[in-house]
Chains A and B, each alone.
Chain A
C-alpha cells in the first residue's frame, strides 16, 4: 500500500537557520502531495501542496518540490522563526474504490530557539 516516510525529530534549530525536513513516499499512480502543520493542541493546517511531478508548492516562506524520479517532497525554508515551531506532516492522496484518502507520515517536530 501507499506510505510516507519522514525524517524523525525533534529537529532543533536557531532562529534564521535553514530548514530541511525530508519526506519520501511510495505510491501507485500519481498522488497529490501535501505538507500539513500542527501547532500544540490544535488540528492540522494545510501548509502547501503539489499535484503533479515538478510542481513546487510554496506558502509562508516554505517550499517543497514534487520529485517523481526520487519519490520525494522535501520541505525547506530559508530562515526559520520561533513561530515556526510545530509538528510538520507530509501526506499523499490515495485513491481507492471507496474514495479518496490521505496517508500521513509520522510527523517531524521542529523547535526553533532564539
Chain B
C-alpha cells in the first residue's frame, strides 16, 4: 500500500538534545512538507521541499533543520535551539511536476515530548 510513514509515533527527549523525526513516502511524490501542530493553533509549516537536494523555510523554521537526499525521505531534526519543541509533528507529500501540487497526503504524525 502506498502512503507516508512517520516513526516513531511517540518520542521523548531531554531538553538540550537534538532529535530527528523520520518521514518516508512511497507515493513517488516530488514535494514533501513538515508541519507542527499545537492545540488551538492549527498547522504551521516548518520546512518544505519541492525536489531532491532542495528545500525552503516555512513560517516557523527557526530551531529546525531538514535534508532531502532521497526522493522518498525528508527527515526533520529538532535542535536544542528550538525553544518550545513539545508538539505533534506531521509530514505530508504531494504529487509534483505533471501531476499537480494541490492536495497533500499526510502521515500519522509523531508526538514529541521534551522535558
Contact = CB atoms under 8 A, between A and B. Distances in A.
Interface string A16-54: 000000000000000010101000011111100101000
Interface string A71-114: 00000000000000000010001000011111011110000000
Nearest to A32: B102
B107 A43 contact: yes
Interface residues of B, number: 25
Contact of A99 (B41, B43, B50): B50
A42 B80 CA distance: 26
B101 A100 contact: yes
B108 interface: yes
B103 A43 contact: no
Nearest to B110: A43
Contact of A107 (B42, B48, B107): B42
A71 B38 CA distance: 26
Nearest to A98: B56
B104 interface: yes
A46 B48 CA distance: 19
Pick the 8 closest A-B CB pairs, nearest first. Answer: A100-B101, A43-B106, A98-B56, A99-B50, A106-B42, A44-B106, A104-B42, A104-B43
Contacts of B2: none
Contacts of B109: 41-43
Contact of A46 (B4, B58, B105, B107): B105
